[in-house]
Amino acid sequence: MLANSLIELDRAHLVHPFSCYRSHEETGVRVLKSAKGATVTDASGKTLLDGFAGLWCVNLGYGQESIVEAAAKQLRELPYATGYFGLGSEPAIRLAARLAELAPGDLNHVYFTLGGSDAIDSTIRFIRYFYHAKGTPQKDQFISVEHGYHGSSTAGSGLTAIPAFHAGFGVPYDWQHKIPSHYAYRNPVGSDPQAIIDASVAALRAKIAELGAGRVAAFYAEPIQGSGGVLVPPTGWLKALHAVCKEHDILFVVDEVITAFGRTGPLFACEEDDVVPDLMTTAKGLTSGYVPMGAVFISDRVYNTIADGAGKAPVGHGYTYSAHPVSAAVGLECLRLYEDSLLENGRKAGKRLMEGLRSLADHPLVGDVRGRGMLAAIELVTDKERKTPLPAAADPGRRIFERAWANGLVIRAFNSGILGFAPPLCCTEDDIDGILERTRMTLDQTL
Ligand code: PLP
């Protein structure tokens, strides 16, 4: 009864992110009621393994009491402090300092946002301030990668290169450009890692030449493309593109909103790629989804140029909830938990997950298995030889999601037939085995 009335209220009033409004009104909402460890429980009492950590964000798993306590303590002590007027709060300062210590290279300056989209939007603002301060405001063209996702803010949605975020809106803008993705399974140059790197380097060089190096402000890339289908570039890809940017004095922005905080193994995925970007965006795992927060990491060079350029005038960028003390207190506790044992547990669980998913490669529907750490995907096809995708008209994403749900598993099922996995790092061996078993069951029922 309660659930039915909630469904009606949802249908009538709650606008859901990235959803087909009319189909959602028809099917109705699934209400989640509680969660513990790597599981979530819905309003009917059904408990499921969460193979996607909410929206690849609850990296530490659910029910971490120390996070709840850190938030409650901060809420009692000081629920809000602005960063305006030269004010601040202790947790925000301590979190920025600790993150700067842990971040690669000279990413020593941290600007806190509420999530990933406004972190990306903030980088666009900072980069514009940077070039104005340098006296080269004509460097105003931005390049990103097809299949990339950089949020859905008004400006950032155009750096995102997934058509569903553009249809009916009118982005990308004319200052936003794309190069092809490294997507190894469906790359016109084939799957040889060096050929893929060479093709991306050539594409970036060509795009820079087309626009003029003196016009290009920045290049954006994810260490692993998440929402584009968990597309893992060959080792050395990020470093090769970074080198091209350095050569042309173009800022290199790494979007680690999904990949940071243990998702691929280390605290930051770009560490493994041996790349120190000029700016880096994070969110999700920063507070493990318990409260909203994102962070833009800014290098010494970029920060100092902006600061010197502004002189005694304010840099006109800021939010009411930048560096929110409750989020910062949660972030500090999350960092403690990562360092205490959960990064390590995530590495072990990730190894088991990847091995298990690779063992699904012989399944008649599985065309490709890919991933790094606790971020993985399998791509389903109807014909392995021809790599024929599942027919989109049959709505495979929704159907597979529902089957997996019935089997007690939450995964991300893209309509392209890609199944995404991003379980919490707290997963036990049994949790991982359960995710794998339920995935195989779901695939068998999809045949
Ligand atoms: N950048 C990347 C790489 C993301 O995956 C996301 C979200 O999934 C974003 C940016 C946007 O973050 P948010 O949804 O917190 O606004």
Query: Residue 4 has what pLDDT?
Result: 77
Distance 376 CA to ligand 1 centre (A): 17
Distance 44 CA to ligand 1 centre (A): 30
H helix runs in 186-235, sequence order: 193-211
Q: Has residue 298 got a pLDDT over 60? A: yes
Mutate which of 257, 290, 291 for ligand 1 pocket (most atoms within 8 A of beta carbon): 257
The protein residue with its alpha carbon nearest to ligand 1, atom 6, reads: 151
Q: Tell me: domain 66-337, CATH 3.90.1200.10, correct?
A: no
Instruction: Specify the ligand 1 atom closest to the Cα of 117.
Output: 16
Distance 303 CA to ligand 1 centre (A): 23
Backbone angles phi, psi at 431, to 5 degrees: -60, -50
Distance 445 CA to ligand 1 centre (A): 32
Distance 430 CA to ligand 1 centre (A): 29
Q: Has residue 3 got a pLDDT over 70? A: no
Instruction: Specify the ligand 1 atom closest to the Cα of 258.
Output: 5
Which bin fits 288, alpha (ψ -120 to 50), beta or left (φ > 0)?
left
Distance 338 CA to ligand 1 centre (A): 21
Query: Residue 393 has what pLDDT?
Result: 87
The protein residue with its alpha carbon nearest to ligand 1, atom 12, reads: 116
Give domain 2-63+341-446's CATH number out of 3.90.1300.10, 3.90.1150.10, 1.10.3720.10, 3.40.50.720. 3.90.1150.10
Mutate which of 16, 117, 145 for ligand 1 pocket (most atoms within 8 A of beta carbon): 117
Element (H, E) at 221: strand 216-221
307-334, pLDDT tens digit by residue?
A: 999 999 999 999 999 999 999 999 999 9
**Sheet holding 409-410: strands in order across?**
32-36, 39-42, 47-50, 409-410
Query: Residue 320 has what pLDDT?
Result: 98
Boundaries of every domain in the chain: 2-63+341-446, 66-337
Q: Give me the residues paired with residue 417 across strands.
A: none
Q: Has residue 2 got a pLDDT over 70? A: no
pTM: 0.98
46-69, pLDDT tens digit by residue?
A: 999 999 999 999 999 999 999 999
Instruction: Specify the ligand 1 atom closest to the Cα of 17.
Output: 14
Tell me what the pLDDT averaged over the chain comes to. 97
Q: Which protein residues touch ligand 1 with a CB less than 6 Å away?
A: 115-117, 120, 149-151, 222, 226-227, 255, 257-258, 283
Residue 329 to residue 286: CA distance in whole angstroms: 11
The protein residue with its alpha carbon nearest to ligand 1, atom 3, reads: 257
